[in-house]
Structure 1
Amino acid sequence: VLTHLGEAHLENFASNEALRDEKLKLFKGCEWVAMPGYLNDAILCLRSLGKKVHTWGVSEHDALKVSSTIESEGRIVEAEYEGQHFTWFLPFSNEMGYRNAMTTALVGLKWGVPAPEIGEALERFRDLEHRMQRIRKADGMWVLSDAYTNDWDALGLALSDLSHIPGAAKKGAIIGPVPGMKAVDIERLKTLIKTSGVDNTWAIGKAWDSAPGPKPWRQFASPEEALKALQGEDSPFNGHHVLVKGPRSARFERLTEALVQPGHSTRLVLDLKALTHNLQQLRRYIRNHCPVGTDLIAVIKASGYGTHAAAIARVLQFHRVPIVAVACTEEGVELRKNGITSRILVLSPTPNTFHALLQHRLEPAIHSEKQFEALVQELGGPKSPWPIHLKVDTGMHRLGFAPDDEELLRIAGHPMVELKTVFSHLASADRPDQDEATQSQAAAFNRTVESIRAIRPNVKHHLLNSSGLIRFPALGGDYIRTGIALLGVVPDNDMNLQPVVHFETTIASLHRIPPNEGVGYGLEDAAPIERLIATLPVGYADGYPRSLSNGRGHVVIRSQRAHVVGKICMDMTLVDVTSIPGVNIGDNVELFGQQIPIENVAKAAGTIAYEILSRIPTRVIREQRYG
C-alpha cells in the first residue's frame, strides 16, 4: 500500500527522482501495489519493475473511480468499481483522511470484501490527528499545527483543511521554508495562499525574501523573530483559525504554544509518560498479587476524572488494555468520535441513549429488568447477540439486581444478548473497620457468579476497584477496575505510582503589603511584618477550593512552599512569597502535582481527590505532555 510521496527529507537527496526511487525500493518484494492514481511517476516506475499496480482516482484508467462532495458532517463519496456504482459516506472531511480512506477501500475491494461492507466500515472511520494537531485557542478559534514537516504536498493539504473549517472566521497561516525551495516557489506559495482564502500570512525564513505576497503578508527572518512578534504584539491572530507549518529543525511548535497560551494561563497538565508508567506498575502488581489471568478494566468516566478521557484512552489502547469503562453513553460516543476502537463498557446507560449506544458499538451494564427490556426493544429483530454486562447489588445499594434475583438467569440466557461479565462494587474497600461487610459482599457476589456460570460457563467477573486491589487482591477475579489509580492517586501502597495530573498556573502580579494590613475580601490574614504577596490567576471558578483560604492551602513556587493568604476569590488567589528569593511575575506555580500531592490538597480542603479533579472546568486549558 502506497499512500503518499511527498518532499519530506528532500534535502538528503540529489533530486525528487532520487527520493522517489529510494522509497519505491520498499516495494521490491511485492506482487501488487494499491495506491492513488495521481502519483503518475511512481506508477510508471513500479510497472517498469514488473509490479501490478491498482489505483483509485478520477481517471477512467483507475480501478476504483471516485468523486466526493464535502458536507457539514463529512464527505459523500460516489464510487465505481468493475461496473458497479456505490455511494459511501465518510464522517470527516479533511483531504489526507479522505485519500487514506480511498486507498483502504481499494485494498478491501481487491481482497474481495463486498462494497456494501466497505461502505459500512467507512461510516465508522474516525479521523486521526497524525502529526497534524488541532488545538483550541483562548479565543475559541483553532490552531492546525504540524510543526514537524513542510513539503509542498503536505502544505497544500494543510491549507485545504484550514479552508474547510466551518464558519466565517478569518484564516491565518504561519509557514516556514520548504526544502529545496527556488525563486519560483515564492510565487507558488502566493498562489496557494490566495486560492486557500487565507487572510493573514506570516512567511518565516530567508528563503521567502522577495516581493511581498497577498496582503496582509509579513516576512520574518527566523522563528525566533516571529515568536517575539507573537509574544509582544496585541494578539495579531485574534479571531483567526491559524495553520502553523514548518520544519522540525526550526522548532515551530514554539509558535503553536505562543498562539495557544495567551489568555487563561492556568492549566491542567496530563503527563502521559507517567500514565504509561502507572499502567505498567498496576499490571505488575496484579500479576504478583491477584489470581493468575487477572487483567484490568480502565475506568475513565467523567472525562478521565476531569482530565482528558480521549488522550488517556489512546495510551490505554496502544498498550492493549482490553476494556475501558465510562459512566454514560455520551462519554462512550465522545471516545468513538476521537478514534478510540477499544471495547467500551458503559456503567450507567439510560434507555433513551440506547440508539446511540448501539450505533457506536458500546457495551451496556444492565442493572434492572426495565432497562433490559428497553435494550431488547431497541435491538429489534434477530441479529448477532449484543455484548452486555450484568450489575449485581451486593450491598452498595445504588444500582443492580439482588444477588438472588431470578431475572439474572433469564437475562444471562436471553438469545439476543451475549453476557460478557458480571460485576459488583465494594462499598467500603478502603475502610478496615468495615472489612466484615466487604467479605459479606464478596461472598454474595461469588454465589451469584456460580449460579450464572451454570448456564453461561465462560462469563467473566470483576468486583475490585483501585482501593479493593490494594487491600483484597485475592478477590481479583477476571478483571480489576482501576480508575484513579492510573492517575497515581491511591492510598498508601508499594506500587511506586507517579502523579499523572498537574494543576499549574503562573504569577500574575506582585505587591508589597505594609505591616498589619489584611488582603482580599474582608481584609483578612493581616501580619505584623511587611509581606510580598503574589496574585495567581486561579480561583474557585477554576476548581481551586475556596476552603483552602487563610493559610489552609499551599502552592509551590521555585521549589518552595507558599501559603494562601486571605480568601480565595472566584478568579484569583493570593499567596505569601516573602521568603522565596528571586520570585518574578510569570514564574510557574504548582497547585498540585509532583511536589504537592493532590491527596494533601484534598485533605486540607476537607474533600477527596476525585472531587478536586472532576470539578476543574473546561476554561482551564488541558495540556498533554510526553505523548
Structure 2
Amino acid sequence: MYHAANISKVLKGELLQDRGFPGIAHILLDSRKLIFPETSLFIPLVSARRNAHQYIPVLYEKGVRNFLVSEHLPLDQYPDANIILVKDTLQALHQLVAWHRQQFHIPVIGITGSNGKTIVKEWLFQLLEKDYNIIRSPKSYNSQIGVPLSVWQLQPEHQLAIFEAGISQPGEMEHLEKIIRPGIGIFTNIGEAHNEGFLTQRQKINEKLVLFAKSEILIYCKDYLELNECVLNFHTQIGKRDNQQGLQLLAWSRKTDADLRIISVDKDQTHTRIDALYQNAPLHIRIPFVDEGSVENAIHCWALMLYLGIAPAVIQQRMDLLGNIAMRLELKQGINNCSVINDSYNSDLGSLTIALDFLQQQQQHPTRTVILSDILQSGKSDASLYEEVAGLLQQKGIHKFIGIGKNINREKKRFQDVEGLKSLFFPTTEAFIQQFNQQDFQHETILLKGARIYEFERIGKLLEHKVHQTILEINLSAMAHNVRQYQSLLKPGIKLMAMVKAFSYGSGSFEIANLLQFHGVDYLAVAYADEGVELRRAGITMPIMVMNPEPGSFDAILQWNLEPEIYSLHLLQQFEEEVRSSGKTDFPIHIKLDTGMHRLGFEKKDIPALALLLTENGQLKVRSIFSHLAASEDPGKDAFTQQQGRLFFDMSHELQKALGYTGIRHIANSAAIHRHPELQLDMVRLGIGMYGIDNGDMREKLRNVSTLKTTVAQVKRLQPGETVGYGAQWAAPGPATIATVRIGYADGYPRCLSNGVGKMLIHGKLAPVAGIVAMDMLMLDVTHIPEVAEGDEVIVFGKDLPVQQLAQWAGTIPYEILTGISQRVKRIYFEE
C-alpha cells in the first residue's frame, strides 16, 4: 500500500496537502465505480468533452481522501484530503503504474495484434493456472486506460502476469510498453481493426511491435508476410540498438519452415487435431474447437508453453480441456419479471468488479442479487479474499447473495455480517439446483458469476425466460461507443438528448435507457406517455420529453414527472388547465416550432399568441424550444436545412425575448451533429446514429449495435422442378437444397423480400429467400452452401449484413426495419 507523499515523489508532483492517511491501494478513474473510498486515489482525467475534476466534491463527501489533480483546488473545502498536483493526470497515471510495475520481478507476457488477444490471454490462464498464481487483464482491458488499471492489480503473491495491449493511433504503444514491460511477447495476427488511425498496414505493425522493445522473446506467425518482414527488421534494430543479442524469435508456420512447423490440421465435427515439429520432434495437440481463429489462437498458446518448458504430454492434456471464453456480459429476460446477467464462465475479482458495475447500472428492479461460486486461484487467503468480496457487495448495494462452493461456505459469516444483505449458501451447484424454487426469485436483477467447473450455465437455464430461437442481440458496448463518437463532436457545454421512442427503435426500453443514463446523456425523448411511464417504473430518473402527448395522458405525465412537447395553442390551453387543476407550478414543457417540416409545431405567425399565453400563467415553464430538420443528411438539401436554421433562430429569439428568459434550444439531429455543427446550439438530439446507422462521414466511426439472428429448423433436398412455399411460386431450377429458418413476417421480416429479393447469411455466405415469406417461417436456397445443417445460425442483419442493405432490398429505410421487429422476438443485451 502506498501513501500520497511517496506517490508525489515518484511523479515529481507538488504535494499541496498531506494528511498522511489513509494508504492507497486502489485507483479510481470513474466516479460512478467507487467501491473502497478510504483506500482509493481518484485521478480525474480531462478530455475535450469532460473534465472529471468536477466530481471531486461528490467523491470527497463519499469518503475519498486521496486526489491526484492537474488543477488547483480550494484546500479549505477538503481539509482531510491528500492532494497531489501534476501537469497531466493521464500522463501521471501512466508514470505511476509504470513505477508500480518496476516493483515486481516475475515473468510478464504482453500480447498485441488485431484479433485474438483476449482469447489467447484467457486460454493461457486456463492452461497455466495449475503452475502459477496469475494476474491478467480483466476482460479486454487493453487501452491507454485499461492497461494501467490492469497492471495496478499486480501484488506480491503473483507469479506470472498476462496483459494485452491495443492501440488505435501512432505513439500510444510507447506508453503501454513502459507500463507492461513484457519479457515475453505474443503478436497474434494483423488485420483491418483500427486501420483508420494509421497510414499503412506496415506502420500499424511497427507501432504494435514497440511493445516488445525490451522483451526477451517474441512469438508470432510468420505466415503473415508483412508481419514477418516487420518483425525481422524490428529484430535487427533491437539488436543493433542494445549492442547485445537482442530479441529472440519463436516463429510458427503452416506454410514454411519455422521453429514450430505445423504439419497438418485435421477437423471433425467438434475437435481439431494439430500435428507439428518442434526441435525436430513430432508433437500434436487436440482442441475442442474447429474454427480457424481458435486454431490460430491455440497454436500461439502451444508455442508459449513449449518455450516455458512444459512437457508435451501435459500440454496435450490441457489443450483438450480448453473452454469457451465469455467475451461479454449478457442481459436476458428472466422468470417472474427478473433480469438475468449471465457471466457464468469465469470468476475472479477483476471480472467480478466489472460485472457488479454492470449490475449496478440496472435500475429496472428493486432487488439486486448475486450468485457467486468459489473464486479459484486468487493468490489470497480465503479470509482475505471473501472479506474483500463482501466489501464489494456492500459498496455496490447488493440485496441478496447466494454463495456456491466449499470455500465460500467456510467464510459465510463475512457475508452474514453485511448489513442489509440476505445470504444463502450451497456446497455445490447440484445442491442449489435440487433446492431451486422459482418463487424465490421475483422482480430481481440477478448476476450469475461462476468458475467454469461449477457449470453455472445449468442455473442460467433455470432462471432465464425460455426464448424463441429468433433473437435480436443488442450490443450495449457498441451503443456506448457510438454515443461517445457523437459526444466528441459537440462543442463544450452542449447537452445531448437521446431518442428512445418506438421501443428505442426496436432495441428495447429500460435496457437502453439504463445505459444512456449511466453514460451521462442529459435527456431522453419518447413518442408517447406510456413509454415514459415504463421508464420511470424501471427506475429511470433523468428528464424525459414526450413528443406526442395526448389529453388522455396528461394525468400520467404529471404523475410521473414527464415533460410534454407542446405544438399547438389548443394543446397548450388543455395542458395548462390540467396543470392548474393539479396545483403544480412551473411545470416543464417543450415548445415545438415548425420551420419547414410541416408536420407539427407553431408557425411564425403563432409566436405572439403563444408568448401571450405562456406569460399570462405561472403553471408552465418552457424548458426547451426546438424544431425538426427535414433533410439534414442530404447534401442536395443543404440550402433548405440552412433556411430552416435561420427561421428557427428568428422564431426562437422572438419567443425568448417575449418570455423574458432563455430555454434550451435544439434543432440538430444525428446527421446535423456532424454535417451542420453550426446548428448544435444548446442541445442536440441523437437518434438513429446511436444505433450505428449513418450514410455519411460517420459511418466508418460507428459500430453495429443490432444483430437479428435465427436458426435452421430443417434442411431438404429437392429435385428439379419441385416447388417451395405458398402459391408454389419458386421452383428448383436443378437439384437444390432448401433450409427452412425460424423467422417470418410475424417477426418483422418483410413479405416483400420473398422469391430471392431478400438474402441471409449462413456460414458467411448469402442465401436468397426461396418462395413466399410465411408468418413464422421462410425458406432459403442453400444449394451453394453444402455444409448447412439443422440448428445452424442464420444472420438476418448485423455487422456483415447491414440493416441498411436489408432496407434497400425491401425498398424502405432502416428505421422501418428496426421498429418493425416483433415483440415476440426476444432481445438479448450484452456488454463486451
Which of 563, 567, 578 is matched with 1:363 structurally? Answer: 563
Structure 1 segment 410-449 matched on structure 2, within 5 A: 410-413=612-615, 414-449=617-652
Deviations 1:112-145 (A, max 9, x none): xxxxxxxxxxxxxxxxxxx9988245xx876767
Report runs of 4+ in structure 1 exceeding 6 Å deviation.
23-27, 131-134, 236-246
Identify the residue that residue 693 of structure 2 maps to in structure 1. Answer: 489
Q: CA RMSD in A?
A: 4.2
Of 423, 447, 457 in structure 2, the residue corresponding to residue 254 of structure 1 is 457
Deviation at 1:305, TM superposition (A): 0.9
Residue matched to 1:569:
774
| Letter aligned with residue 816 of structure 2 | E
Residue 476 (structure 2) aligns with: 272
Q: Deviations over 1:47-93 (max 9, x none)?
A: xxxxxxxxxxxxxxxxxxxxxxxxxxxxxxxxxxxxxxxxxxxxxxx
Asked if 1:594 is matched to 2:792, the reply is no
1:605 positional shift: 0.6
Give me the whole-angstrom Cα distance separating, in 1, the residues matched to 2:408 and 2:670: 55
Which of residues 743, 746, 752 in structure 2 aligns to 1:547? 752
Q: What's the CA shift for 1:603?
A: 0.8
Paired residue for 1:294? 494
- Structure 1 equivalent of residue 815 of structure 2: 610
Q: Are the aligned partners of 1:176 and 1:245 in contact in 2 as well (CA < 8 Å)?
A: no
Q: Deviations over 1:453-508 (max 9, x none)?
A: 21434222111222333433322221221111100112222351111111111111
Distance 1:575 1:626, change over 3 A: same
**Distance in structure 2 (CA, Å) of the matches to 1:388 and 1:417:** 7
Q: Which residue of 2 aligns with 1:409?
A: 611
Distance 2:448 2:812 in 1: 46
CA distance in 2, matches of 1:394, 1:369: 17
CA distance in 2, matches of 1:361, 1:464: 25
CA distance in 2, matches of 1:181, 1:443: 69
Worse overlay, 333-342 or 396-405: 396-405
Q: Secondary structure at the match of 2:472?
A: strand
Match in the other structure for 1:98: none
Aligned to 1:538: 743
Who is 1:345 aligned against?
A: 545
Give the equivalent residue in structure 1 for 2:592: 391
Counterpart-to-counterpart distance in 1, 2:514 and 2:725: 43
Q: Secondary structure at the match of 2:651?
A: helix
Aligned 1:302-321 pairs, distance under 5 A: 302-321=502-521
Larger relative contact order, structure 1 or 2 (CA cutoff 8 Å, min sep 6): 1
Structure 2 unaligned runs (5+)?
Answer: 1-35, 41-60, 63-328, 342-368, 374-385, 392-398, 414-425
SS state of the match for residue 571, structure 1?
A: coil
The counterpart of 1:135, out of the listed 326, 333, 346, is 333
Hey, what does 1:462 align to over in structure 2?
666
Aligned partner of residue 333 in structure 2, secondary structure: strand
Provide the rounded CA distance (Å) in 1 between the counterparts of 2:576 and 2:807.
Answer: 43
Letter in 2 for 1:403: K
Q: In the alignment, is the contact (CA less than 8 A) between 2:330 and 2:829 conserved in 1?
A: no
Q: Aligned-pair distance for 1:433?
A: 4.3
Tell me by how many angstroms 1:441 deviates. Answer: 2.3
* 1:281 maps to 2:485: yes
2:372 maps to 1:149? yes
Task: Tell me how far 1:384 sits from its aligned partner.
Answer: 4.2
Structure 1 position 474 matched with structure 2 position 678:
yes
Q: d(CA) in 1 for partners of 2:478 and 2:37? A: 39
CA deviations on 1:167-206 (whole Å, 9 max, x unpaired) are xxxxxxx994464547x99xxxxxxxxxxxxxxxx99447
- Give the Cα separation in 1 of the matches to 2:738 and 2:806: 21
176 and 295 in structure 1: CA distance in 2 versus 1, 3 angstrom threshold: same
8 Å contact from structure 2 (residues 330, 830) kept in 1: no
Cα distance change, pair 286–396 in 1 and its aligned pair in 2 (3 A): same
CA distance in 2, matches of 1:278, 1:425: 22
Q: Distance in 2 between matches of 1:472 and 1:25?
A: 47
CA displacement, residues 547-601 of structure 1 (integer Å, 9 cap, x when unaligned): 1111111111122221111111110111122222532222211100111110110
Query: Which residue of structure 2 lines up, in the alignment, with residue 52 of structure 1?
Result: none
Report the TM-score, using the length of structure 2 for normalisation.
Answer: 0.49
Aligned residues of 1:176 and 1:246 also touching (Cα < 8 A): no
Query: Which residue identity does 1:149 align to in structure 2?
Result: L
Distance in 2 (alpha carbons) for counterparts of 1:359 and 1:464: 30
How many angstroms apart in 1 are the aligned matches of 2:761 and 2:795? 5
In structure 1, what is the Cα distance between the partners aligned to 2:339 and 2:641? Answer: 51
Alignment partners' CA distance in 2, 1:574 and 1:531: 12
Residue in 2 aligned with 1:334?
Answer: 534
From the superposition, tell whether residues 134 and 521 of structure 1 become closer, same or farther in structure 2 (CA, over 3 Å): closer
Equivalent residue number for residue 112 of structure 1: none
Secondary structure of the residue that 1:296 maps to in structure 2? strand
State the one-letter code of the partner of 2:601: G
Match of 2:110 in 1: none
- What amino acid is the match of 1:402? E
Whichever residue aligns with residue 516 of structure 1, its letter is G
CA separation in 2, counterparts of 1:294 and 1:26? 35
Matched letter for residue 480 of structure 1: V
Letter of the structure 1 residue corresponding to residue 372 of structure 2: T
Question: What is the CA distance between 1:274 and its match in structure 2?
Answer: 0.3
Structure 1 window deviating more from structure 2 (268-277 vs 582-591): it is: 582-591
Conserved 8 A contact 2:486-2:673? no
**Structure 1: which amino acid aligns with 2:681?**
G
**What is the aligned-residue identity percentage?**
35
Residue 364 of structure 1 and its aligned partner are, at CA, apart by: 1.2
Give the count of matched residue pairs.
Answer: 454
| 3-state secondary structure, aligned to 1:273 | helix
Q: Distance in 2 between matches of 1:24 and 1:315?
A: 24
Q: TM-score, normalised by structure 1?
A: 0.63
The alpha carbon displacement at 1:332 in A equals 0.8
Conserved? CA contact 1:203–1:218, under 8 Å: no
- Deviation track 1:210-265 (CA, whole Å, cap 9, x = no partner) reads xxx9xxx849xxxxxxxxxxxxxxxx999997998865224665235535474510
| 1:194-273 to 2 correspondences below 5 Å | 204-205=428-429, 208=431, 218=434, 248-250=450-452, 254-255=457-458, 257-259=460-462, 260=464, 262-273=466-477
Q: Which residues in structure 2 correspond to 1:28-47 (within 5 Å)?
A: none
Query: Structure 1 pair 261/526, CA: closer, same or farther in 2 (3 Å)?
Result: farther
Rate the CA distance shift 1:238–1:600 in 2: closer, same or farther, 3 A: farther
Q: Contact between 1:349 and 1:364, CA under 8 Å: does it hold in 2?
A: yes
Alpha-carbon deviations, 1:264-285, whole Å to 9, x = none? Answer: 1001111000001101111123
